[in-house]
Structures are given as C-alpha cells and as structure tokens.
Copies of this chain bind each other. A is one copy, B any other.
Amino acid sequence: MKTFIILSLLISQTLIAKADVLPTWKDGENKQAIIKFVEKVIDKKSPEYVKPEDRIATFDNDGTLWSEVPTVEVEFTKMRLKEMIQKDPKLAQKEPYKSLVMHKKSPPKLNQKEMMEVFATTHAGMNENEFAQSVKGFFQQAKHPKLNVPYTQTAYKPMLELISYLKENEFSVFICSGGDTSFMRVVATEIYGIPSQNIIGTSLKDKTVEKDGKLSVIRTDKLDLLNDKEGKPVGINRQIGKRPIFAAGNVRSGGDIDHLRYSKEGALPSLQLMINHDDAKRESAYNEKDNQSLNMAKKYGWKIISIKDDWGDVFSKTKVEVSTNE
C-alpha cells in the first residue's frame, strides 16, 4: 500500500512537471517542437541522444531575450556620451557626436566606422571594475520609455522559462550577442541566471596595466571581435569550441543568420528558433526590409516563433537587484 502511494505520488508529480514545462508558451507546433527536441536529445535510448557536455545552447540577447526597442546599450551609450560632454564640452562640437547631440529625438544613422568610434569612445579607457560601475549606474536609473520599468525588467518571460528548462536538462546556456560582453555581464546573472563566463559578445582589446602596485585589465579603443553576423560563429568557436545544438535569434538585421546556420550545419541533432516581432500591441512589430531572416528560417527549417501567437505573456516583471558593490 505504502509503495502504491509513493508510486502514485511519483507519477502525479511527473505529470505535473510535464504540464508545467514552458507555461507561458501557448500550446502549438512550436512549443511541442521544443519539448520534443529536448526529450529526444536527453533520452539515452534515442538515436539522437546528445551527451550533456555537447548540449550547448546559444541565445542572441537584444530582441531575443529582452526588448530591443529601444536598444538598451544604445541608451547606455547616450548616457555615457552626456556624462563625457559635461566633463569635456568640446566633444559636442565634433562629428559624429555633434549630430548625435543635436538630434535628440531621432538620432542620425551612423555608418559602421562612426558607430565603432562612438562605441570605443564611450566604452574604452576604464578598467573592468570602473566600466561595471558605470553600467550599474545606468541600470539603477534608466527606465524603458514605454513600459516605465527598469530595463532589467524587460526580459521575455517565455525565454526565461526556456533557459530554465534547458538548464534543468543539463544544457550549458550561453548568450551570443552583438552587444558588448562586459556590458551584458553586469546584469546577465541576475536577469537570466547566465554566469559571466557564458556571455559571448562584441569586445574591445584589453591590456594588463599596473597601477598603485596592482594589476588590472583596461579596455583599449581597439576592436577585438565584432560578434555579429559572420562574427558569431567566430565568437562561439573561440569561447565554447563546440557548435550549439540549440540556437535562438531574431529578425531585424540578419545578425543571427550565420549564428543559426552554424548550429544547424553541425554534426549533431539541433533546433533553431527565429523570433518574429509581430506583436505591435504587446511588444513591437518590425522586420528587416529584405525579409532575409524569415526567408533563411524557411530555407533551413528553423522554427519561426511568433510573439503574437506563441507567447501567452511577453514581459517578466520580476524585480532584479543590481548590486552597487564591486
């Protein structure tokens, strides 16, 4: 009798656990495809079993894990620029800073060289602690203009569930984003539960310096890696050394096409998600002009995730503490 009760309890717990998988995802083909994929690669008896050490998952950040309207790091860059101009007003007379400062509402489109210059100017010259403090200051003040909450509360709830689900099934989960690695590291553990060593992003070349008898690593203004488009496989290979068997990105710039192809074209079973921003009401509706990301998704068999149709809710409103100490 006792055994029977224990067995019944175990079975009902298993059923509850199953029913609870990805609760914010609406039932449908995409949710089922994700669950089916995970169950297949963790099943030792399946011909598509994948060993835990090869269960690598990579997620783009802006537009895949949190809102990119506006892009959070661009908002940080504007704040840094403002601080820098207060200290050195001459900066506001120089291009491309002048145009940026003049057009507050809709800043001019910069070419890649100008963008890299603004990136280097606002992100370089600090050591790792000083930069982290600057980023923390931003996250403590800034709010999302439409949602009116700190940016740390703009993560997508369904994606947080997906990260947890993969981790529970012994996946190593990484961010693979065009954003600056050190910028994301400041909040990625608190928001996503992803540790600093699992963040792959764009980086500036560092160098070791000695100050007051102590070593630290300082950010130079030279680009180390632009982790976007064809840079993503490079970043993944450099930091992980394995192809992801699960990869997620989103439409906007085509920045994740090579990321998802690199996953799909590996030797192991794999699944890719391309998130489509088609929900103007709850989030934002946008796509790239040439429709390239969606076309590639169809060509390669990636799952197109519709925010409107696949997600029961969009934003995690969970409060996230950004500590002030080092």
Q: Which residues of A contact B (CB under 8 A)?
A: 53, 56, 128, 172, 174, 181-182, 185, 189, 195-199, 203, 206-208, 214-217, 224, 230-231, 233-234, 237-242, 258, 261-262, 265, 267, 326
Given contacts A128-B237, A196-B241, 15 further A-B contacts (CB under 8 A): A53-B189, A172-B195, A174-B197, A185-B241, A196-B242, A197-B240, A203-B238, A207-B230, A215-B233, A215-B258, A215-B261, A216-B233, A217-B233, A217-B237, A224-B238
Chain B residue nearest to A268 in the complex (CB): B326
Q: Tell me the complex Cα distance, A230–B210, Å.
A: 10
| Complex interface: chain B residues within 8 A of A216 (CB) | 233, 265
Chain B residue nearest to A172 in the complex (CB): B197
| Complex interface: chain B residues within 8 A of A207 (CB) | 230, 234
Flag if B199 contacts A265 (CB, 8 Å): no
Q: Tell me the complex Cα distance, A324–B251, Å.
A: 39
Q: Tell me the complex Cα distance, A262–B210, Å.
A: 10
Q: Tell me the complex Cα distance, A258–B216, Å.
A: 10
Chain B residue nearest to A262 in the complex (CB): B215
In this complex, the member of A238, A240, A258, A265 whose beta carbon has the largest number of chain B beta carbons within 10 angstroms is: A238
Q: Tell me the complex Cα distance, A215–B189, Å.
A: 31
Given contact pairs A199-B241, A240-B197, A234 touches B217 in the complex (Cβ within 8 A): yes
Q: Tell me the complex Cα distance, A207–B237, Å.
A: 10
Flag if B234 contacts A195 (CB, 8 Å): no
Q: Tell me the complex Cα distance, A189–B241, Å.
A: 12
| Complex interface: chain B residues within 8 A of A189 (CB) | 53
| Complex interface: chain B residues within 8 A of A185 (CB) | 241
Which 6 interchain pairs have the tightest Cβ spacing? A196-B241, A208-B230, A217-B237, A197-B240, A208-B233, A214-B265
Given contact pairs A53-B195, A197-B197, A206 touches B241 in the complex (Cβ within 8 A): no
| Complex interface: chain B residues within 8 A of A203 (CB) | 238
A245 to chain B, nearest CB (A): 14
| Complex interface: chain B residues within 8 A of A224 (CB) | 238
Flag if B265 contacts A197 (CB, 8 Å): no
In this complex, the member of A128, A217, A231, A240 whose beta carbon has the largest number of chain B beta carbons within 10 angstroms is: A217
* Residue in B215, B217, B258, B326 whose beta carbon sits within 8 Å of that of A267 in the complex: B326
| Complex interface: chain B residues within 8 A of A231 (CB) | 208
Q: Tell me the complex Cα distance, A185–B195, Å.
A: 21
Chain B residue nearest to A236 in the complex (CB): B217
| Complex interface: chain B residues within 8 A of A230 (CB) | 207-208
Chain B residue nearest to A129 in the complex (CB): B267
A183 to chain B, nearest CB (A): 11
A-B contact pairs, 7 of them (CB 8 A): A197-B239, A197-B242, A207-B234, A208-B230, A215-B233, A217-B233, A239-B239
* Residue in B182, B233, B242 whose beta carbon sits within 8 Å of that of A241 in the complex: B182
Q: Tell me the complex Cα distance, A199–B230, Å.
A: 23
A13 to chain B, nearest CB (A): 25
| Complex interface: chain B residues within 8 A of A198 (CB) | 197
